[in-house]
């Protein structure tokens, strides 16, 4: 029998399995992205409580199976109560969790991405305690996730010619921002948007929520 694994995880989401169980999607520090069965979690007498709700951070004991892990222990580490009380907060959390899941392969540890994801939820929780506008923070998280995955577009110069001239557009085909000479088919972009992109990738998350 395969040995159980201890892992700290952000719960990304879940879906029903049969009448009483659920499959939870996890982003773990030790194992990367993984799915796991939680038996009996949908019963009214479930021992799990709300520990495995989306966006919680939990310490888990996971038993590997043929294609899925099985959760046998779960201890709550972080609950982001302010974030959960706001519809915009839940939407923002869902966006960054889906991005983290979509940009990383299964079963490959991504310690930096895990730390970024947990910190982003913490910063959003602190931000939603006082106000609801989180666009700069969400943008910053998405840019940092793209950077960690190796997909960050060129933001500090023209992606086509490399010049530091005035940026006038974004070109997916060119791989980033482009200058006026290279941006015939680019999507126009304002100087304010360029500044937001540069700040999003360069500033710490705590500064993006202020």
Helix (H, G, I), strand (E, B) or coil at 176: strand
Predicted confidence band at 135 (pLDDT cuts at 50, 70, 90)? confident
pLDDT digits (tens, 9 = 90+) for 158-174: 999 999 878 999 999 99
Residue-range domains of the chain with CATH: 5-150 (2.40.50.140), 154-210 (no CATH)
- Give dist(CA 166, CA 177) in Å, integer: 10
pLDDT in tens, 43-94: 877 888 889 999 999 999 999 988 899 999 999 999 998 888 888 888 999 9
Is 30 within 8 Å of 7 (Cβ atoms)?
A: yes
How does strand 57-64 pair with strand 32-38? unpaired
Global confidence as pTM: 0.89
Tokens for 95, please give them: 């966006």
Q: Distances in Å between the alpha carbon of 81 and those of 23, 76, 115, 136?
A: 23, 13, 19, 21
φ, ψ of residue 128 in degrees (nearest 5): -75, -10
């Amino acid at each position: 029998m395969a040995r159980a694994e201890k892992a700290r995880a952000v719960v990304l989401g879940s879906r029903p399995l049969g009448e009483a169980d659920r499959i939870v999607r996890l982003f773990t520090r030790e194992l990367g992205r993984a799915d796991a069965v939680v038996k009996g979690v949908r019963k009214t007498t479930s021992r799990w409580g709300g520990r495995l709700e989306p966006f919680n951070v939990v310490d888990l004991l996971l038993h590997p199976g043929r294609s899925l892990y099985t959760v046998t222990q779960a201890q709550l580490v972080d609950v982001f109560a302010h974030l959960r009380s706001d519809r915009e907060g839940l939407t923002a959390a869902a966006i960054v969790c889906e991005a983290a899941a979509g940009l990383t392969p299964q079963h490959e540890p991504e310690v930096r991405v895990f730390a970024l994801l947990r910190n982003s939820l913490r910063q959003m929780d602190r931000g939603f305690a006082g106000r609801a506008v989180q666009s700069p923070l969400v943008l910053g998280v998405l840019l940092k996730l793209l950077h960690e995955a190796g997909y960050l577009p060129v933001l500090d110069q023209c992606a086509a010619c490399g010049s530091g001239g005035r940026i006038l557009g974004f070109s997916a085909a060119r791989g980033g921002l482009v200058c006026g000479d290279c941006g015939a088919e680019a999507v126009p972009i304002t100087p304010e948007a360029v500044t937001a992109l540069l700040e999003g990738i360069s500033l710490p998350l705590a500064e993006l929520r202020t």
